[in-house]
Amino acid sequence: MKIQLYWLLSAALFLLPGKADAANNKKPFVIPELQEWRGSQGMFTPAATSRIVYTGKDLAVARVATQFAEDYEQMFGRQMKVVQGGASAGDFVLSLSSDSRLGEEGYNLKITDRVTVTAPRSKGLYWATRTLLQLSEQEAGQALPKGTARDYPDYAIRGFMMDCGRKFIPMSMLRDYVKMMAYYKMNTFQIHLNDNAFKQYYNHDWNKTYSAFRLECETFPGLTARDGFYTKKEFIALQQLADSLGVEIIPEIDVPAHSLALTQYKPEIGSEEYGMDHLDLFKPETYEFVDALFREYLEGRNPVFAGKRVHIGTDEYSNKKQDVVEKFRAFTDHYIRFVEGFG
């Protein structure tokens, strides 16, 4: 009995500090989870006079502040002024810092009588506003739990690939995907612009097998799918939207396999040995065609593919013959250099 009582008293004493800690705010729920959190007591509730204040002269910081104000109004129906400098209690304050350990996308967040966000880069400030929007959704009056957070991504690339070749995805839906991705701090959206179905579902007839190339094409009129495609203008606008929200669009033209849309348009570049969904790697006409196709979207002062990266596919070609393997390697190297030649 004495031993049992001693154990209970010891346990109670051990738990006493936890009672004081329990009054502090627990780590709030956001996606992805905050890396570090130290809770304080109480809540910060925006007032009618709350503003979004940014410091410094960096135009990127001003854009983040404006974007945050627009999103906040859209989500909660509350307009907040965006001003430069002069923060006071009740404000949201955004500023750049010299804390390089946070990297390009990390940020510090402090919620007291005001909300203070600092980051070494404007992208970190932007991701912090996504955290604030998520937190604001969860309490009446958009109240935020007081405390401090230090947040940074585990992975540099956070995203997925959307196959628009086999199934047309309307541009309006792609734009919605970009907005949803940004809300959850996903930063990479690969768009697979051409592909085809499997011939066994079309009586093993390549001519009847479904295929599609989804981008407006002027170099090869008739290549563009008739059951759904993106104009160059709207694809550029999609990339501009994504860039403004911290999401990189990586367009993909898939060659030399998954390429039935190209060979249905120009049958002579198809492979007799491996099937018409494969390009013939040994024909000069294949390179002439694919060069011209990529060039249409890469060249000029304002190219259709506006981002830093372009995906050239290169999956699932036969590796049974050594000469084909080497030809495939040469094909891949050629298009890596070709794309890089446009910057």
Query: Can you give the residue ranges of every domain in the chain?
Result: 22-151, 159-340
CATH architecture of 159-340: Alpha-Beta Barrel (3.20)
Contact between 97 and 134 (Cβ < 8 Å): no
DSSP state of 44: E
The DSSP result for 55-106, as a single string, is -SS-HHHHHHHHHHHHHHHHHHS---EEEES---TT-EEEEE---GGGTTT-
Helix (H, G, I), strand (E, B) or coil at 273: coil
pLDDT for 107-159, tens place per residue? 999 999 999 999 999 999 999 999 999 999 999 999 999 999 999 999 999 99
- Cα separation, 305 vs 142, in Å, equals 39
pTM exceeding the 0.85 threshold for the entire prediction: yes
**pLDDT band at residue 2 under the 50/70/90 scheme:** very low
Q: Architecture of domain 22-151 in CATH?
A: 2-Layer Sandwich (3.30)
Q: Residue 164, Cα to own-chain centre: how many angstroms?
A: 16
What separation, in Å, do the N-terminal and C-terminal C-alpha atoms of the chain show? 79
Are 90 and 116 in contact, with CB atoms under 8 Å apart? no
pLDDT by residue (tens digit) across 216-252?
Answer: 999 999 999 999 999 999 999 999 999 999 999 999 9
- Residue 171: what are its φ and ψ, rounded to 5°? -60, -35
Q: Once rounded to an integer, what is the mean pLDDT over residues 253-266?
A: 98
Longest distance between any two alpha carbons in the chain, whole Å? 93
Q: Measuring CA to CA, which residue among 74, 77, 72 is closest to residue 115?
A: 72
The proportion of the chain whose per-residue pLDDT surpasses 90, expressed as a percent, equals: 92
Cis peptide before 32 (omega within 30 of 0): yes
- The mean of the pLDDT values for the chain is 94
- Decide if pLDDT at 10 tops 70: no
